[in-house]
Amino acid sequence: MVNVFTYGSLMFPQVWSRVVQGEYESIRGTLHGFRRRCLRNEPYPVAFEGAPSERVLGEVYLDVKEDDIVRLDRFEGEYYARKLEDVVLDNGKIIRANTYVLKPEFYPLVDDNPWDVEQFKLVGMQRFLEQYQGFASIA
């Protein structure tokens, strides 16, 4: 079992629960040295390495089972590589967690605008759920 840091659509239970089968405890965390940006024409963000001072806020799911990691890998698809990184939890503890970062060959698809979490909740979430209905059957 491994921890998984999420920073976009998977931070939200409405999405996370459609991808994984298990139930997991989660805690807020911060990934340092990365930036989160919009992906052109998509409601979800991407993360990739940035300056040491940059950071991405997100949610860490604890002790995720391997069969759900397989589902997450399929859900994330070809744009992302799963990397093990240090994440600082809201309680100050540092843990290792897998996170899905954009592969360098896909950097040209990035819109350099920061991703707006509130805008995703208001508008993007519905669009995302409508577009990605098929992931409930990921096995």
CB 125 within 8 A of CB 135: no
Q: Which letter, b or e, does each residue of 74-95 get, where b requires 16 or more Cβ atoms within 10 Å of its Cβ?
A: ebeeeebeeeebebbbeeeeee
pLDDT at 131: 78
pLDDT at 124: 84
What radius of gyration, in Å, describes the C-alpha atoms of the chain?
14
Residue 11 has pLDDT above 60, yes or no: yes
Q: Which CATH class is domain 2-137?
A: alpha beta
Residues 3-31, mean pLDDT to the nearest whole number: 95
Would you place residue 135 in the very low, low, confident or very high pLDDT band (cuts 50, 70, 90)?
Answer: low
* pLDDT tens by residue, 75-113: 999 999 999 999 999 999 999 999 999 999 999 999 988
CA 128/CA 118 separation, integer angstroms: 14
Residue 32 has pLDDT above 60, yes or no: yes
pLDDT at 133: 60
Phi, psi (rounded to 5 degrees) for 33: 85, 15
Cα-Cα-Cα-Cα dihedral sign, residues 21, 37, 121, 43: negative
CB 36 within 8 A of CB 22: no
pTM above 0.75, yes or no: yes
**pLDDT over 70, % of the chain:** 95
